[in-house]
Structure 1
Amino acid sequence: MEPLRGADPAGIGGYRLLRRLGAGGMGVVYLARSGGGALTAVKVIRAAHADDPAFRARFRREVETAGRVASPWVVPLLDADPEAESPWLATAFVPGPDLSEAVRECGPLPLASVRFLGARLAEALDAVHAAGLVHRDVKPGNVLLAVDGPRMIDFGIARTPEDTALTASGMVVGSPGFLSPEQAQGRGREIGPASDVFSLGCLLAYAVTGERPFGAGSAPGVLVRTVHEDPDLDGVPAPLLPLLRDCLAKEPGARPGVREVRQALDGGAGGAGEGWLPEAVTRLIARRSTAVLALPAVEATAVSGAGSGAGSGADTVPGGDGARGVTRRRVVVLGSAAGVLAAGGTAAWWTAGRPHRTSAQGGTGPLPRLTLAVHADLSGDARGTGRAQERGVRLAVDHFNSRAGRAFDLALQVHDDAGGTAGAQRIARRLAADARVRAVIGPTTDACAKAAVPLYQKARLPLVSVSVGLVGLSSAGPSVSPSARVYAATRPDDLTLAAPVVAYLVHAVRARRTVLIDDAAEGDTGRQSLGLVDDAVRSPERTTIRRTLAAEDGSAADFRALAESVTAARADAVVFTGGYARTAKLARALLTAGFSGARLATSHALDPRFLTAAGEAAEGWVFAAAFLDPTRVPAARSFVTAYRERFGAAPPWYAAEAYDAALFVARAMTALGASRAERGAVVSRLRETDHRGITKRLRYDATSYQYTNAMYLFRAADGGFRWLGEYRDVIA
């Protein structure tokens, strides 16, 4: 809701206007109170359209059609005056989100919720069709969610099947992505009740998967797919698939009727549906209802310089303890909204049991708690990195919760996948089902991230990674997998790390002949990365030679032959893409072969176990990495001190980066506010958040996350790893 503006009337048609609910090209929708105190939504047409006889006739028709439909699942028309100087209509007010907002912020609905949703909407459409009408615009934005069931709205383009006003051949009216093929082709006279069934099928597929069955993109492309291609129903639960396939049949005659749809979904059972929504959506409705409770008294809604309208006509009830009086109308509204909260059953949960602290507004009271989860490898092969990230996040949560004036507290959950993909998927499912969790930091490894991201995407649960180097997941272009949408990487991917390798070869050691060795055991990324190095280094003055170590090659003889090929090529530099164990074997083989040139590897080999396995052969190797040594960074001094005090040692790699990632998420949540920090909203807000942390600046541009000064070089020296710094500083 937004405050009224100076040009807004104080009232219209006996309704006192309270807030703006929305505005579009046709007019403005206000939250208002009737003379009896009931909340209403009043739609007022703009003056420019009111002067158009054709538009006024269309609005008159909307009023007439909306008034003909009687169903508990259709928002009722309460009053209207299409002949007024500024035509208007009033409907009951539903303090809940529309379906598109609920899915965007809270993720797809569970199957049971979708079955109830579909059955009630089919019942609503049955009433629409019984009134001799076709809705023509069944879409998520026209379905409001309430604690007892959905409500269908907007009869602006509803018509009788024989009405020629919107059935001219070739005219496409409605919302692409939720139109039937006959609508998409402008076959106006064929648009009947079966068209609404097709749209309902699209809506239910969206509700249960979060994706439109005919995709997104340009309207023409969506319309073409609607007419000529099969719907994409991946992700639709098996019990719902047969019905949705029937609803989405291309020919109207092949689709079921709305009564068949209702019977298939709930056997024809009706009644109230308290508890039909997942908890996150119920909380969203409760917060909207709470906002209604906070509305000012009628006298406070007068707009300075506003046009004349309905008078307040309200009696004042004195408030105790010197409080401002409230009106009898406000008492009526309080009772109505309190009933909604009671039905939702979540308002008390949201604040109960919280310790009283000073809020950002200066008062005292319980702060809401928003839960952040760590998904990491704490007991597997990458446990060192996983534990570092867990500890970094813990310090970030402690730091955030110590801030004065914060609007909420952060709670923390920690989950161990032991480095296995099955464990990663199990944790992702658990966190996806836990409505308290608003964002996840992790996982630790590429394989676990690849396994878990689709599950987090399905739940619209933000996933912020710290150590994952997978390529492409954090992009957002139109060709990128939908799994990218919830995923935010806070480090450059592995291909990007070709830049410091190139810079070191060209500027630091001025290599003339470089052997580039791809370790096939590491997959395609190493080969692609070396391709980038090859293209950047090779020139008339510099030669590159490509080699591949097969995944099955691993004997001492294999590495000896590889090292001898390097010396035979008279190379002065070598780059290898293997992990720590195979890099150690190559290091020993190169030392035995007498190679003394520059030796470079990626962060896959930057592991203390490399030092142990390679022994003296480790000396001098240089590694490109996406993490820094926080003990060498002035901006991280307070973090290093806090880490030492808490854990008794210097912070390891990736601890500081995890600290930044957690505060990056907290910054996005703070911008939203505790009441709006649902999962989908956090996903969107992260892309609008510019966070300057102790390790790097995190921000998003038009296609991907950007990282300022976030690629580094390390050298093995004296039995340890020495941080050389940001690579551009090293070569300067």
Structure 2
Amino acid sequence: MIPLRSGDPARIGGYRLLGRLGAGGMGVVYLARSTGGALVALEVIQTEHAHDPQFRARFRREVTAARSINTPWATTVPDADTESDTPWLATTYIPGPSLTETITTHGPLPHTLATNLAQALHTIHQTGLIHRDIKPANILLAPNGPRLIDFGIARTLDDTAITARDVVIAVIGPTTDATCEAAIGTYDKAELPLLSVSVGTAEVSTVEHPSYLRTRPDDGGLGLPLLSYLALHTRPHRTALVDDRAAGDYSWNLVRSMATAMRGGDLPSVTVTVPADTRDFGRAVDEVRRSGVRAVVFGGLAPRAALFARELSSAGFTGARLATQPVIDAAFLKRAGEAANGWLLSSAFIDATALPAARPFAAA
């Protein structure tokens, strides 16, 4: 606890302030005592936020949500004033650190904490609320178990949408194709935007899912930079497109889209397929050499790209060797060794600091 400052009030709403527990962009949290002697954490909202209708609506929702919870796993709200010029909220004081502070100081904690947190969330869900902002800073560790705080963006299970006049929440993620396909229906139902920076599957489209926005090309589009390179440096010679079936739909989509584009652009190609159940790329390399190609595009992932690179190097292939983003991995360099030299790898992302139009964003 930090001592009160000269500008801090002595009392708020009948509570005597004892000291500061913390401060941030939204306001100040005080340790205070009620007339009956109970200790509370009293959060006072800054004046500029209090005059913001949207923020005040959010604060009212936080108070309503917190007051509706009846579980020992969350802090209770004995008092609040959402309509005064300086709105405030009093919650039961928990004499314990946050999970963030504890992990930073002591490292990983026992698995029993995860069990307790799961029980806490289950109990809160039974009351009809979803917290929606679970993070270490919002978990306090009391002597008898964890406590969840800050229900500012909680919603009832019956809610289906958040209006523009209320609050808009953009969720960044998930990180894999499979999790995106599993989660997108839930986001559509809740009318929440799902902004993805890493998913490349073509199975999830913005036509079928209006909540979805993908910020990178789909898997087939990752070959576009390679097409530009081939058009400039290998025409009119053929290129081998290696479809590594161990990479599943990723390799198949990439090779198929590149083969289609190359036919339309008068760039001759031949497709070489590597079965998923083999680690011997000798046969594929022999087929590449017999085809008389001047360039090879590998459609698989980093570990098997390394095997293919070593086999190509051993066979003395000196043509262009290209692959896409999944091969940009330390595993490729480590396993391929000297055979990784000379490979050209394309990525769907760029350095924002190197793009003039993005410099203001990068600086911010």
> TM-score, normalization: structure 2?
0.53
- Whether 1:504 aligns to 2:229 is yes
Using the alignment, how far apart are the partners of 1:539 and 1:485 within structure 2?
Answer: 32
Find the counterpart in structure 2 of residue 141 from structure 1. none
**Does the 8 Å CA contact 1:520/1:551 hold for their aligned counterparts?**
yes
- Whether 1:439 aligns to 2:170 is yes
Aligned 1:427-576 pairs, distance under 5 A: 438-476=169-207, 480=208, 484-510=209-235, 512-538=237-263, 542-554=267-279, 558-576=280-298
Using the alignment, how far apart are the partners of 2:169 and 2:56 within structure 1?
Answer: 19
Structure 1's 509 and 451: CA in aligned 2 closer, same or farther, altered over 3 A?
same
The one-letter code sitting in structure 2 at the alignment partner of 1:517 is V
Using the alignment, how far apart are the partners of 1:550 and 1:503 within structure 2?
Answer: 28
Report the Cα offset of residue 637 of structure 1. Answer: 4.1
The sequence identity of aligned pairs, in percent, is 39
Find the counterpart in structure 2 of residue 153 from structure 1. none
Q: C-alpha offsets along residues 356-408 of structure 1, whole Å, 9 cap, x if unaligned?
A: 326898x998584799xxxxxxxxxxxxxxxxxxxxxxxxxxxxxxxxxxxxx
Moved over 6 A (4+): 431-437
The one-letter code sitting in structure 1 at the alignment partner of 2:180 is A
Find the counterpart in structure 2 of residue 620 from structure 1. 342
Structure 1's 486 and 458: CA in aligned 2 closer, same or farther, altered over 3 A?
same
**Does the 8 Å CA contact 1:356/1:364 hold for their aligned counterparts?**
no
Using the alignment, how far apart are the partners of 1:433 and 1:466 within structure 2?
Answer: 29
Structure 2 portions without partners, runs of 5+: 1-42, 63-131, 137-153, 160-166
- Work out which of the residue numbers 327, 334, 341 in structure 2 matches 1:605: 327
- Work out which of the residue numbers 348, 354, 361 in structure 2 matches 1:632: 354
Find the counterpart in structure 1 of residue 72 from structure 2. none
**Does the 8 Å CA contact 1:498/1:529 hold for their aligned counterparts?**
yes
Structure 1's 433 and 452: CA in aligned 2 closer, same or farther, altered over 3 A?
farther
**Does the 8 Å CA contact 1:577/1:604 hold for their aligned counterparts?**
no
* SS of corresponding position for 1:496: helix
Structure 1's 488 and 572: CA in aligned 2 closer, same or farther, altered over 3 A?
same
**Does the 8 Å CA contact 1:357/1:367 hold for their aligned counterparts?**
no
Aligned length: 228
- Work out which of the residue numbers 307, 316, 323 in structure 2 matches 1:594: 316
**Does the 8 Å CA contact 1:432/1:456 hold for their aligned counterparts?**
no
Q: C-alpha offsets along residues 524-554 of structure 1, whole Å, 9 cap, x if unaligned?
A: 3432332222122237964311111111122
Using the alignment, how far apart are the partners of 1:358 and 1:499 within structure 2?
Answer: 47
Aligned 1:355-374 pairs, distance under 5 A: 355-357=46-48, 368=58
Find the counterpart in structure 1 of residue 300 from structure 2. 578
Q: Which protein is richer in helix relative to its size?
A: 1
Per chain length, whose mean CA-contact separation is higher, i.e. which structure has more relative contact order (CA < 8 Å, sep 6+)?
1
**Does the 8 Å CA contact 2:222/2:347 hold for their aligned counterparts?**
yes
Aligned 1:164-563 pairs, distance under 5 A: 354-357=45-48, 368=58, 438-476=169-207, 480=208, 484-510=209-235, 512-538=237-263, 542-554=267-279, 558-563=280-285
* SS of corresponding position for 1:516: strand
Using the alignment, how far apart are the partners of 1:637 and 1:413 within structure 2?
Answer: 33
RMSD: 3.7
Structure 1's 488 and 542: CA in aligned 2 closer, same or farther, altered over 3 A?
closer
Using the alignment, how far apart are the partners of 1:433 and 1:518 within structure 2?
Answer: 48
* Most deviating of 539-548 and 520-529: 539-548
The one-letter code sitting in structure 1 at the alignment partner of 2:47 is H
Using the alignment, how far apart are the partners of 2:57 and 2:302 within structure 1?
Answer: 47
Using the alignment, how far apart are the partners of 2:193 and 2:227 within structure 1?
Answer: 34
Structure 1's 540 and 565: CA in aligned 2 closer, same or farther, altered over 3 A?
same
**Does the 8 Å CA contact 1:519/1:548 hold for their aligned counterparts?**
yes
Using the alignment, how far apart are the partners of 1:502 and 1:365 within structure 2?
Answer: 50
Using the alignment, how far apart are the partners of 1:594 and 1:355 within structure 2?
Answer: 70
Structure 1's 413 and 356: CA in aligned 2 closer, same or farther, altered over 3 A?
farther
Aligned 1:121-160 pairs, distance under 5 A: none
Structure 1's 364 and 605: CA in aligned 2 closer, same or farther, altered over 3 A?
closer
Higher Rg of the two aligned structures? 1
**Does the 8 Å CA contact 2:352/2:358 hold for their aligned counterparts?**
yes
Report the Cα offset of residue 640 of structure 1. Answer: 4.8
Structure 1's 466 and 553: CA in aligned 2 closer, same or farther, altered over 3 A?
same
Structure 1 portions without partners, runs of 5+: 1-351, 372-410, 416-430, 643-732
Report the Cα offset of residue 511 of structure 1. Answer: 5.4
